Structure 1
């Protein structure tokens, strides 16, 4: 009788088209503290402020607003940025910088200019000194980009003099006249933005850019030898472009002057294919490996003692707000993010940790309103879905990156678009579990970051210490939501970080089940 009832129940389920529950898939993660990649540079938790849309005006800077402080800076934005944990902020662009003249934005008389990159009037009421006030209030490192488009190499040198020289020469004294007696000591300077792109004002060939950047670098370092210079690497991967030719020429010509080469990548989901989309950060790692090889080739036999690193100083999800009016004016690039976007950002950060030996800076583009984790209106702000995985990494994933062994179920993608007209070949054996780990040898603190890319199934995973033993409970933080398209909004938080019950872990292994479409961070101890 019971058997007959069971058969009838199964028949009813199948007849109604209902899915029977599936058991969790199985995986293993092996942690070995001796398998070291390199120290994780805190600068991979950077972001970007450009004079674009409402990033500056109506974002971080809104004089006259009841939410603004005495310097016109939004207090709620300041607090959200501090909580985000951003370590370095790139400024002032972006495409904007290739027609930006920094002298228009300092002193008592500001010069309004037509911003030819984003087609708005730039009042220049926010400039170098206002940005540095913002930097000091959020506790981040400043990173300036000079104009290698319409600007001159002498103008770049003057900016270093204005910001970094204490007294004596004209522009150092001009800063003092403007009310800022002490130099800022800005360490990081980029030699232009995306100069390989035909869309860039003052676009140059690789050879011409390298010559101009080399001479600017000489002037800038002669003014302040302590600065670190970042060359504009490849950003154009469209059909017909030759990004590695650009990178090779730039590295060859500038190898004696630069400290980083900057790469850019934006990804999207224009075909609404979830599994293709959540695999897109792997393309960043593929490009990283190629440029790492170019750096090694160029430096082979060189007398240079310091290495050249990679700075992914623009990356994000961007594909919705990129046509028509969404590309222009004061409401430009106001992308709204969902859960699958947050998983992609977690994937990028996992990738930067796995490439910790060569990737020493990264900047999520951008910080507020414009393809950003923070979104404002006149009354307040909300934190977009991508805010939460970034915050967990920036707060906790500090130490030494470990080479983690992952045995996970896999899937194959199709050939797909990244989001900016760039096609990539299909990817095979993409693991559902995307994992990184960071270890602090001094105190035994272990941080394990796991994205479960599976849309529908949890994955039960055995975590194994190949050397040493797990000690004490592991804290568990999870970023998830009701479905992959869930978004946040003003007063509505469908996707956020949730503290889950601690996991007992005393010994060489423990088990955890990672929910579908989730990012999980486990924090505990591994004793040697």
Structure 2
């Protein structure tokens, strides 16, 4: 996690690959003269982008502010279970369907030494924590983290310390977690009360090593060489693990060079390359804020091109994917406020557009982790008496619960608007998925207009709609509406509509995210 969100940068490199996937937007519809009033959204369940990996609905916890201590772990609270974890938080996380949980950082990871956090709690050292300028008590360590993951049904994802840490420390952490028996570290884990291996599958090779704020910051070549040796030792310790290399967390000059260098060195060992993005609306420019994730999509396509380049120079057959393992809106609350950002409706809409991007690029984005889970720039906020859900909770909850299966190509033909950096931004941002086991079509639509209802026709080009569609809408009274304890101005409203034939006509309200789940009756043969 960078200390401050970075400014947007719209790269033009590899422009040729920008249209490999994602929505196809009619250029005619984008023209300002005679633009159509009704948006046409065309879908064909046989035109598929790729399988949606459930890991795109992941999350992230860091030893920062009240995320872990006072968030997920609060043994003094009457709401805590016998292990010290908040029961209400566990239930809220379960409803969010978190699939993979990243830990311990973030910037914290670059100064964290895992042995400090195992063994009897009363013997664990208290350390000066340099990333966020606090004291780390080490009351939550590896075993507690894995326990929490098991409680909420998430896969553990550990980021090793490649800042102040060593190759041996990284390798030995894998051995401690994953070796069943017969070694000193496996026996150490058993002596700590965990005779069975944790079998942690996902491991990150450091955090944001491209950033000058990071402990142990290196240039691309120095990081890549160091990470390569760590990767070799970690995979030799457990060949089944999946490794995530540090890609860009900043997108200024030279960011593509960083990613190319890292991929060229790690192409035989890395399974993912990690990307981080935090967006902001400091200028209070709603139309531009709603278009910000178009930059995210551009970056994904550029990195996909870099992956293809690296893969052309290796004999490995297993693909390398993108892990967008930190993303969110963040610009109002920093260390002085414990990063406890309060989110509004426009932030929730941006989260929905992030998720649309991940779904549209499901062939290459196979993991994503909202940062963070509780209290710190988070969808869940706790108090002494309970918790409340921020606006950004709801789009992630809907996607994670229902948007599975195969991502579809989407053709969008409708009105658009201009920003300072974009000639044409479609008012309706759309992704779609198809679940062949149930013949269910899932359509996700964000209306980027603050004032206007956007009429649309959703057209099935293969199969007809039947029965009733379930419509879930995230909205509120205005774009600045916020939730707070006991008050939910932004929430999910659900309804049903009758559907029949090859199209659904729907009016998308201003400043809304809408999910439509509809059943299709498919012909027996094409």
In the other structure, the counterpart of 1:464 is: 459
Residue correspondences, number: 485
Post-superposition shift, 1:276?
0.5
Post-superposition shift, 1:382?
0.4
Q: Is the CA contact 2:101–2:154 (under 8 Å) kept in the aligned structure 1?
A: yes
> Paired residue for 2:505, among 498, 508, 511?
511
1:276 pairs with 2:294: no
1:232 pairs with 2:246: yes
Q: Is the CA contact 1:314–1:362 (under 8 Å) kept in the aligned structure 2?
A: yes
Q: Distance in 2 between matches of 1:527 and 1:362?
A: 32
Post-superposition shift, 1:303?
1.0
In the other structure, the counterpart of 1:20 is: none
Q: Distance in 2 between matches of 1:246 and 1:204?
A: 11
> Paired residue for 1:487, among 482, 505, 515?
482
Post-superposition shift, 1:505?
1.2
1:473 pairs with 2:468: yes
In the other structure, the counterpart of 2:406 is: 400
Deviations 1:91-122 (A, max 9, x none): 00000000000100000121111110000000
In the other structure, the counterpart of 1:441 is: 436
Q: Distance in 1 between matches of 2:84 and 2:438?
A: 42
In the other structure, the counterpart of 2:424 is: 429
Q: Distance in 2 between matches of 1:288 and 1:527?
A: 34
1:452 pairs with 2:463: no
User: 1:73 is paired with a residue of what secondary structure?
Assistant: coil
Q: Is the CA contact 1:375–1:383 (under 8 Å) kept in the aligned structure 2?
A: yes
In the other structure, the counterpart of 1:58 is: 70
Post-superposition shift, 1:301?
4.5
1:370 pairs with 2:365: no
1:526 pairs with 2:517: no
Q: Is the CA contact 1:25–1:458 (under 8 Å) kept in the aligned structure 2?
A: no
Q: Distance in 2 between matches of 1:194 and 1:489?
A: 32
Q: Is the CA contact 1:334–1:369 (under 8 Å) kept in the aligned structure 2?
A: yes
User: 2:516 is paired with a residue of what secondary structure?
Assistant: strand
1:173 pairs with 2:167: no
Where do 5+ consecutive residues of structure 2 fail to align?
Answer: 1-35
In the other structure, the counterpart of 2:26 is: none
Post-superposition shift, 1:133?
1.2
1:36 pairs with 2:48: yes
Deviations 1:307-346 (A, max 9, x none): 100000000000111xxxx325xx4111000000000000
In the other structure, the counterpart of 2:103 is: 91
TM-score w.r.t. the length of structure 1 is 0.91
Matches within 5 A, 1:51-450: 51-108=63-120, 109-238=123-252, 241-321=253-333, 326-328=334-336, 331-414=337-420, 426-450=421-445
Q: Distance in 1 between matches of 2:516 and 2:239?
A: 42
Q: Is the CA contact 1:25–1:457 (under 8 Å) kept in the aligned structure 2?
A: no
- Could you list the structure 1 runs, at least 4 aligned residues long, displaced by more than 4 angstroms after superposition: none
Q: Is the CA contact 2:268–2:314 (under 8 Å) kept in the aligned structure 1?
A: no
Q: Is the CA contact 2:428–2:447 (under 8 Å) kept in the aligned structure 1?
A: yes
User: 1:32 is paired with a residue of what secondary structure?
Assistant: strand
> Paired residue for 2:494, among 484, 491, 499?
499
Matches within 5 A, 1:1-20: none
User: 2:38 is paired with a residue of what secondary structure?
Assistant: strand
Q: Is the CA contact 1:233–1:261 (under 8 Å) kept in the aligned structure 2?
A: yes
User: 1:33 is paired with a residue of what secondary structure?
Assistant: strand
Q: Is the CA contact 1:230–1:261 (under 8 Å) kept in the aligned structure 2?
A: yes
Post-superposition shift, 1:380?
1.1
Q: Distance in 2 between matches of 1:486 and 1:116?
A: 36
Post-superposition shift, 1:64?
1.5
Larger Rg: 1
Q: Distance in 1 between matches of 2:224 and 2:184?
A: 28
Q: Is the CA contact 1:451–1:518 (under 8 Å) kept in the aligned structure 2?
A: yes
Post-superposition shift, 1:524?
1.2
Q: Distance in 1 between matches of 2:240 and 2:306?
A: 26
User: 1:34 is paired with a residue of what secondary structure?
Assistant: strand
Which range moved further: 252-261 or 505-514? 505-514
Deviations 1:179-238 (A, max 9, x none): 111001000000000001000001011111111111101111111000000000011224
In the other structure, the counterpart of 1:16 is: none
User: 1:35 is paired with a residue of what secondary structure?
Assistant: strand
Q: Is the CA contact 1:410–1:430 (under 8 Å) kept in the aligned structure 2?
A: yes
Q: Distance in 2 between matches of 1:370 and 1:37?
A: 34
Q: Distance in 2 between matches of 1:141 and 1:527?
A: 35
Q: Distance in 2 between matches of 1:168 and 1:413?
A: 62
Deviations 1:4-56 (A, max 9, x none): xxxxxxxxxxxxxxxxxxxx942111111111100000000000000001000
TM-score w.r.t. the length of structure 2 is 0.91
